[in-house]
Structure 1
Amino acid sequence: MTAPSSPQPPPSPSPAAVRRTAHTLSTGAIGWLYANRQRGAFAPDVTGELTDPDSVYKPLGESALAASLILREGIASPADRRAAEGLMEFAWAQLREGDLLYERQLRYMMMTDPLELYTHFARAGFRHDRLHALFNHLGGLTSRGAAEQLPNRRLAVANAARVAGLDRQADWAVLTDATWLGQTPEPWAIDWMTAYCMTHTVFHVTDWGGRPDALSPRIQDYLGRWLPVWIDIWQEIQEWDLVAELLIVDACLPEPRSAPEVWERLAAVQRPDGLVPRNGEPVTDDPDEAFREHQHTTVVAAVAGTLALSRHRGARALV
């Protein structure tokens, strides 16, 4: 049995067509995230222990990520910018202006999530001086450097330190080569979890599209050939969360190539209120449950739409 032949990279898409759909998608998504922000609030007595980090803490950071990238790109409409600023201010207040992150990092010195979450705020101009100093101190410890992590997680920490302006150096080539994507392996052997790891390798190396030339030409060529195939596969089975993540990968490349039809299919499943479902299953009528189940996909859609809009916009901002 012979291996599948390598497909040719698809032609460049129509920027105007992608821009229109990406704008609709990102505007609806950021509007829904802002309108539902209180559903992601901490309990009044929360401490840095966070016995269930995935319940509020992680989603709060995801919303802050989307908002920080909207503000970084500088192409949002005034209404979308206000929503992004409001989300950042809400999330920062929930974290007690960084004190909750400081408390958590002091208590759990080996955890990297305080830094990874803080960096979204640093990107948007927020700062907590004591936390910043603590990150620099911990970054010099042998224990932190020797921590056992998945390769794409090491990239996450390295990028967080870079964006936050910490006194750390990273060998990006070595870190990237240690990942699945860095080996440019058999593309037909990819599975669901590996696909998510692959997307995050791209996110962190390129700082969510902020450094589109950071990936090596070898990896750029590999993704240019196989990304459309992977998008087609997960689009067919309606795994919209992963489709949106793959579209972010496309927007992180020097030459995004996802066709307008791909964007239109994702936008077609977005609800009128802006929520983007994670898959083809029905969305619950319970608003709190809908937030828990679909907040992540709506965040990813906001990021995907924002980055695609930015990459295809030319020099013109939407008004």
Structure 2
Amino acid sequence: MSAHREDFALGADALTPDGAVNGSWKPLGELARVCAAVSRHTPSPDPLHAPARDLLDYAWRQTGEGELFALLQRFEPFATYPLEVYAAFASAGLRHAGYEAAAAAVARTRGWRLAEQDPTRRLGVLAAERCVGVHRPEDVPRLVRGTWLGGLPEPWSFERFSGYALTHVVFHLTDWGRDPDGVPADLGSYLADWLPAWLDTCLDAGMWDLSCELLAVAASLPEPLGQTAACDAWERIASARHATGALPEERPPLEGPCSEPEFAHCYHSTLMAAFAAALTIGRLRATDGTTGAYEDDLEGALR
């Protein structure tokens, strides 16, 4: 990621009304979110800590240290993506007081509060609002029960779209892995039962991006994956990486040596691998300060 950080740079169209948000602000926000998590879960002496913090600082400079969020607020006052991206930086202590004041004012309007959003997206917007001091009286438990995961669906109905939806529900409920107790007990039990099977299915299908998101979910739950499942999953992810460390979103059609995947087809999955690994190692270190055979084996697979 450090070698390709220029690919995350905001282009000249980042502030235009028809700019490609998914190709500019979204990757930059994802870079910030993951680097904040990696720097938070790795101590300063860890060789991953400094590069993660450097990338986070680079991403913040791309926003003009928050000034571009203030401009976006004036151009698109009712767009939620600027606040959602900003929240990733705010989680690491990078803040812009002027933008926060303007965003909070808009977030208190009826127009903002009545915007129609699916429950999973609404959970994310609510979490972003809390970063700027807005705490609306929303029925979060009701929202959660309106999501695919919250309804405790038949486990065989799991597929790609529901998989990505459930991972983000968990990310929002746990503040991106900070609070494992944020997942309701029945959802935690449901995930403990079925996450290993879903993860194995995604790994078999070569869906590396979704597999890494599921591994991040596993590291965000009160109870970790079993030793065999966890080590097997990480070894398969490691074997799917290119020599540069890049991880493609999905298994290439043809097996065997190939060139490094294009940035657009590997940046998110590579970030998710780093995110899931940081959460996993962080949970191991937070248990009791010691490591047993399970922790040693898993950390070896992660490294």
TM-score per shorter chain, which class? Answer: 0.7 to 0.9
Superposition deviation, residue 110 in structure 1 = 1.7
Q: 1:166 aligns with which of 133, 137, 144?
A: 133
Superposition deviation, residue 167 in structure 1 = 2.6
Which 5+ residue runs of structure 1 have no aligned equivalent? 1-32
Is 2:120–2:165's contact at 8 Å kept on the other side of the alignment? Answer: yes
Structure 1 residues 15-53: Cα deviation after superposition (integer angstroms, max 9, x where no partner): xxxxxxxxxxxxxxxxxx122101221235742536111
Is 1:49–1:104's contact at 8 Å kept on the other side of the alignment? Answer: no
Normalising by the residue count of structure 2, what TM-score does the alignment of the two structures yield?
0.87
Normalising by the residue count of structure 1, what TM-score does the alignment of the two structures yield?
0.83
Alignment-mate amino acid for residue 166 of structure 2 = M
Inter-partner Cα distance in structure 2 for 1:177 and 1:156? 15
- In the alignment, is residue 255 of structure 1 matched against residue 209 of structure 2? no
Q: 1:277 aligns with which of 248, 252, 260?
A: 248
Inter-partner Cα distance in structure 2 for 1:316 and 1:310? 12
Superposition pairs for residues 1-319 of structure 1, below 5 Å?
A: 33-44=1-12, 46-47=14-15, 49=17, 51-75=19-43, 77-162=45-130, 164-169=131-136, 170-257=138-225, 258-281=229-252, 285=259, 290-313=262-285, 314=287, 315=289
Superposition deviation, residue 76 in structure 1 = 6.2
How many residues are treated as equivalent by the alignment? 283
The share of aligned pairs that are identical, in percent, is 35
Alignment-mate amino acid for residue 299 of structure 1 = L
RMSD of equivalent CA atoms: 2.1
Alignment-mate amino acid for residue 102 of structure 1 = A
Is 1:48–1:100's contact at 8 Å kept on the other side of the alignment? Answer: no
Structure 1 residues 89-129: Cα deviation after superposition (integer angstroms, max 9, x where no partner): 11111111112121112211221111111111111111101
Three-state SS of the structure 2 residue aligned to 1:259 is helix
Superposition deviation, residue 240 in structure 1 = 0.6
Is 1:240–1:297's contact at 8 Å kept on the other side of the alignment? Answer: yes
Is 1:68–1:84's contact at 8 Å kept on the other side of the alignment? Answer: yes
